[in-house]
Structure 1
Amino acid sequence: MESWKVNIISVWFGCFFTGLAISQILPFLPLYVEQLGVTSHEALSMWSGLTFSVTFLVSAIVSPMWGSLADRKGRKLMLLRASLGMAVAILLQAFATNVWQLFILRAVMGLTSGYIPNAMALVASQVPRERSGWALSTLSTAQISGVIVGPLLGGYMADTLGLRMVFYVTAALLMVSFLVTLFLIKEGGRPNISKANRLSGKAVFASLPYPKLMISLFVTTMVIQLCNGSIGPILALFIKHLSPESNNIAFISGFIAAVPGISALISAPRLGKLGDRIGTARVLMATLIFSVILFFAMSWVTSPMQLAVLRFLLGFADGAMLPAVQTLLVKYSSDQVTGRIFGYNQSFMYLGNVVGPLIGAGVSAMAGFRWVFIATAVVVLLNVWQLAVMLQRKKQQDEKRNEIAP
């Protein structure tokens, strides 16, 4: 078997354990913040948003540094650093005694994160370009699978064993990811992109056929992460609001957080193949518009079951959006700069993870839970408009080039 195929299988398991580990904690993090002594609605909403977002804010700041190191030392080292570092940081969170300690440890975790984006970049740099769409879609199912199992397992453990026990199990799973990476992934030498590494950011974009479209795709990545992250800080609290008499909020929150992953796992390979036939950009636009409709609908739910059904439908779109963006990034960049482009996209991904929870927490504190869904729908709708404009300009640019060509 070719080495890049072995790496895809190995990285798939590494991404699965990483997605499983991270998603175990997120659904009940607001409940942990409450357990640490934050009780008022406004303070709980804001601290939930801050503890969610600080990890990704730090990640966005340090990501270029890790990217530069990956260019020199290889991406396998970055995968080992991320899995081991996050295992230690999450283990320490189990011993937090107040919300400030949790906040600081979540910030430290941001210094060590980045396993899945680096895994994507490793695969994209090794797989034949004509198969990059299939490879990235296949790899995306690993994280999706982890996100399905993680909240359910985390919610069950939180309700039966206590919130702190989940941190111990999460750290152990990240150690499994570290061992898979250490013994199974072969990089085959340092990445051969030294020439691209000497280019300035301006020169990288000057080498692209559609630089403005690439920036638009970066923004789209940020918005996709934003619309997923904006609900995170208020999900458990909103479910508690919808069903105040329930005594297993953590498990219900975990189930509703995991539901989109089930449908995403179903849709990812199918919509990927559909994109190969009718165009990846068309699939991306259709799923973004579908998301807008669903977020508006979520603002009207009156029970956790209604929210679960709508989030299940949202998962069909989630399964296509990020792989579609990544496929377009590979399509419209050369081998010389693909690594740099993925690095920029990673920073926008982290920014979305910062802005989303802050929007969710802020809107919730000022206007209530339901307005979070409306605000998210409006942001995605604005992104649909800007992406449509950029795709139209690309089409016009192609038509002019065809007219000039003999």
Structure 2
Amino acid sequence: MESWKVNLISVWFGCFFTGLAISQILPFLPLYVSQLGVTSHEALSLWSGLTFSVTFLVSAIVSPMWGSLADRKGRKLMLLRASLGMAIAILLQAFATNVWQLFFLRAVMGLTSGYIPNAMALVASQVPRERSGWALSTLSTAQISGVIGGPLLGGFLADHVGLRAVFFITAVLLTVSFLVTLFLIKEGVRPTVNKADRLSGKAVFATLPYPGLVISLFVTTMVIQLCNGSIGPILALFIKSMSPDSNNIAFLSGMIAAVPGVSALVSAPRLGKLGDRIGTARILIATLGCAVVMFFAMSFVTSPFQLGVLRFMLGFADGAMLPAVQTLLLKYCSDQVTGRIFGYNQSFMYLGNVAGPLMGASVSAIAGFRWVFIATAIVVLINLWQLLVMLRRSRQREARV
């Protein structure tokens, strides 16, 4: 088997364990915060939000640095650093005795992040360019699978073995990811880069044929994550408002939250392969347009079933969006700066993770639940327009050359 195929299979499992490990802690994080002595409703909401978002904020800051180091020292080293670093940070969270310790360790966890973007960059640098869309889309199914399975596994384990034990199990999963990376992934010899030859951030963008388009794709990544996260804070409350007599709101919310991941698993590799044939930009534009329609439609639903159906349909588009952005970034940058570009893109992804829930909570407080869907649709629509403008400009420049 070709080495890039072996690496693709290996990092698939690494990304799956990473997605599983990170997501299985999130559902019960507020419960753990309350176990650490935070009792009042206001303080619990505040500390839950802070401990959740500090990981993404720190990750957004350090991702370009890790991307730069990956270009110089190799991506396998960054995969080993991220998996082992996260395993240690999560293991220590099991021993936290107050909320300040948990907050600090969640920040350290953000500092050690970067497994998935470096896995993407490794595969992108080795796979034949004509198959990059399929390969990156296939790799994205690993994280999607982990994010679907994580909350279910985490909730089950928390009920049966206790909250602290879940941190131990999560650390073991990340150690497995470390061992898979150590023994199975082969990167090959990388050219050494002298300190004098390292590119500054400005010089990185100077090497790009279409820097404006690349920045537009960064913004698109942020918007994709924003629209995924904006519904999170209000989902359970919105479902309860539609079914006030239901006694299984938590189960319904979990199902409706997870259902887009199921359809994304089906669509991601297929749309990635289609993008390799007809053009990745077309797939990205079509899926963003589909998302606009779905979010507008969600603002009119009258039952949880209708919401679940629309979110399932949204998942088909959702599965192709981020891989399409990453494939286009790969197309418009050289191997010399791939790690830096993917690092910047990851920063925008983390910013979207922070901005989405903030927007959703703010809009619902001011205007009501249904306006969250409308506001999200408007944000995606504005992004779609600016992306179309930048793509048209790049095509016009290509035609003139």
TM-score by length of 2: 0.88
Which residue in the other structure is 1:4 paired with?
A: 4
1:146/1:317 Cα in 2 relative to 1: closer, same or farther (>3 Å)?
Answer: same
- Render the CA deviation track for 1:99-156: whole Å, top value 9, x for unaligned: 5444333222101111101111111122232322222112111112222222222233
Which residue in the other structure is 1:404 paired with?
A: none
Which residue in the other structure is 2:270 paired with?
A: 270
Which residue in the other structure is 1:130 paired with?
A: 130
* Distance across 2 between alignment mates of 1:163 and 1:304: 30
Which residue in the other structure is 2:117 paired with?
A: 117
The residue type paired with residue 180 of structure 2 is V
Which residue in the other structure is 2:76 paired with?
A: 76
Judge which range, 283-292 or 193-202, deviates more. 193-202
Judge which range, 204-213 or 158-167, deviates more. 158-167
- Superposed displacement of residue 39, structure 1: 5.3
- Render the CA deviation track for 1:152-203: whole Å, top value 9, x for unaligned: 2223334555544433332222122122112211222346666996223223
- Render the CA deviation track for 1:198-230: whole Å, top value 9, x for unaligned: 223223222222111111111111111121222
Checking the alignment, whether the CA contact within 8 Å between 2:19 and 2:143 is kept in structure 1 is: yes
Checking the alignment, whether the CA contact within 8 Å between 1:221 and 1:345 is kept in structure 2 is: yes
Checking the alignment, whether the CA contact within 8 Å between 1:28 and 1:254 is kept in structure 2 is: no
* Distance across 2 between alignment mates of 1:90 and 1:244: 37
Checking the alignment, whether the CA contact within 8 Å between 2:285 and 2:384 is kept in structure 1 is: yes
1:274/1:3 Cα in 2 relative to 1: closer, same or farther (>3 Å)?
Answer: closer
Checking the alignment, whether the CA contact within 8 Å between 1:14 and 1:181 is kept in structure 2 is: yes
Gaps of at least 5 residues in structure 1 are 402-406
- Superposed displacement of residue 56, structure 1: 1.0
TM-score by length of 1: 0.87
The residue type paired with residue 223 of structure 1 is V
1:170/1:205 Cα in 2 relative to 1: closer, same or farther (>3 Å)?
Answer: same
Q: Structure 2 matches for 1:186-225, cutoff 5 A? A: 186-190=186-190, 198-225=198-225
* Distance across 1 between alignment mates of 2:47 and 2:238: 15
Checking the alignment, whether the CA contact within 8 Å between 2:70 and 2:339 is kept in structure 1 is: no
* Distance across 2 between alignment mates of 1:296 and 1:197: 49
* Distance across 2 between alignment mates of 1:191 and 1:235: 49
- Superposed displacement of residue 378, structure 1: 2.1
* Distance across 1 between alignment mates of 2:100 and 2:368: 25
1:87/1:307 Cα in 2 relative to 1: closer, same or farther (>3 Å)?
Answer: farther
The percentage of aligned residue pairs carrying the same residue is 84
The residue type paired with residue 293 of structure 1 is V
- Superposed displacement of residue 264, structure 1: 0.5
Gaps of at least 5 residues in structure 2 are none
Q: Structure 2 matches for 1:101-180, cutoff 5 A? A: 101-180=101-180
The residue type paired with residue 178 of structure 1 is F
RMSD (CA atoms) = 2.9
- Render the CA deviation track for 1:234-293: whole Å, top value 9, x for unaligned: 445555665666666555444333211110111112211222233211111111121122
* Distance across 1 between alignment mates of 2:147 and 2:393: 36
Which residue in the other structure is 1:255 paired with?
A: 255
Judge which range, 100-109 or 244-253, deviates more. 244-253
* Distance across 2 between alignment mates of 1:225 and 1:346: 11
* Distance across 1 between alignment mates of 2:226 and 2:309: 21
Which residue in the other structure is 2:318 paired with?
A: 318
1:178/1:241 Cα in 2 relative to 1: closer, same or farther (>3 Å)?
Answer: farther
* SS of alignment partner, residue 336 of structure 1: helix
1:299/1:30 Cα in 2 relative to 1: closer, same or farther (>3 Å)?
Answer: farther
* Distance across 1 between alignment mates of 2:93 and 2:245: 29
- Superposed displacement of residue 319, structure 1: 0.9
Judge which range, 317-326 or 58-67, deviates more. 58-67
Q: How many residues align?
A: 400
The residue type paired with residue 68 of structure 1 is S
1:395/1:71 Cα in 2 relative to 1: closer, same or farther (>3 Å)?
Answer: closer
* Distance across 1 between alignment mates of 2:126 and 2:201: 23
Which residue in the other structure is 2:340 paired with?
A: 340
The residue type paired with residue 318 of structure 1 is D
The residue type paired with residue 382 of structure 1 is I
* SS of alignment partner, residue 188 of structure 2: coil
